[in-house]
């Protein structure tokens, strides 16, 4: 399993104040209001770094997108519903990476350090890696045209073909792949292959 650690501090002052604990926010012992809060913001904003980890989300059979039978969108159509559960190995990787991050901070002689808990999520950040791209239908889900091996007119243009993230924000890579897929789909349509 691949992963990476990403040291950064990319919060604006207001986002830093609103972020609270974790995600580059304030130490857990600081109250989130009042004089002590204001002093901690002023002191910590220029003295903070966050180290985040990124791994691949392993597939879980029940994870899916479906149409909600009760909730409608602005046009009265069924809304999209995401069902997501972390794979147990993803949580174990999170615990492992948290320990490596704390070791890295120990090596820097950081004045203060703290870590967020590794917990089961009910949301998703940049899910990647569940529909590998490749030539062999036995080991991949889509081909180089982003077309699924099993359903010929289904194209996947998202982050699922990225088996691992090169960095925390895969949006530009996903966008480039989507543009590439659009070109491939257009060419296939012109040849009458879809």
121-148 pLDDT, tens digit each: 776 667 777 788 999 999 999 999 999 9
> Quick one: tokens of 122?
């009910």
The reported pTM is: 0.70
**Shared-domain flag, residues 19 and 110:** yes
Average pLDDT over residues 25-29: 78
**Shared-domain flag, residues 110 and 135:** no
Contact predicate 48/2, CB 8 Å? no
**Shared-domain flag, residues 156 and 116:** no
Across 120-153, b (16+ Cβ under 10 Å) vs e yields eeeeeeebbbbbebeeeeeebbbbebbbbeeeee
For residue 47, the enclosing domain spans: 1-55+88-120
Q: What's the pLDDT band for 116 if we cut at 50, 70, 90?
A: confident
**Shared-domain flag, residues 29 and 111:** yes
**Shared-domain flag, residues 34 and 113:** yes
- Supply the pLDDT for residue 151: 92
Domain boundary among 103, 120, 137: 120
Is residue 1 predicted with pLDDT exceeding 70? no
- The tally of domains found in the chain comes to 2
Domain-located, residue 41: yes
């Amino acid at each position: 399993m691949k992963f990476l650690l990403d040291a950064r501090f990319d919060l604006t002052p207001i986002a830093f104040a609103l972020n609270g604990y974790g995600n580059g926010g304030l130490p857990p012992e600081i109250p989130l209001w009042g004089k002590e809060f204001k002093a901690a913001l002023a002191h910590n904003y220029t003295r903070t770094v966050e180290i985040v980890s990124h791994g691949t989300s392993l597939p879980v059979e029940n994870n899916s997108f479906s149409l909600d039978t009760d909730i409608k969108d602005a046009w009265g159509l069924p809304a999209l519903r995401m069902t997501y559960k972390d794979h147990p190995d993803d949580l174990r990787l999170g615990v492992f990476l948290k320990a490596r991050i704390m070791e890295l901070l120990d090596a820097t002689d950081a004045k203060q350090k703290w870590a967020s808990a590794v917990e089961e999520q009910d949301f998703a950040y940049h899910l990647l890696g569940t529909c590998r791209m490749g030539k062999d239908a036995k080991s991949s889900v889509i081909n180089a045209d982003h077309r699924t091996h099993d359903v010929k007119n289904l194209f996947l243009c998202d982050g699922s073909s990225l088996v691992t993230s090169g960095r925390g924000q895969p949006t530009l890579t996903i966008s480039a792949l989507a543009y590439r897929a659009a070109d491939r789909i257009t060419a296939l349509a012109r040849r009458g292959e879809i």
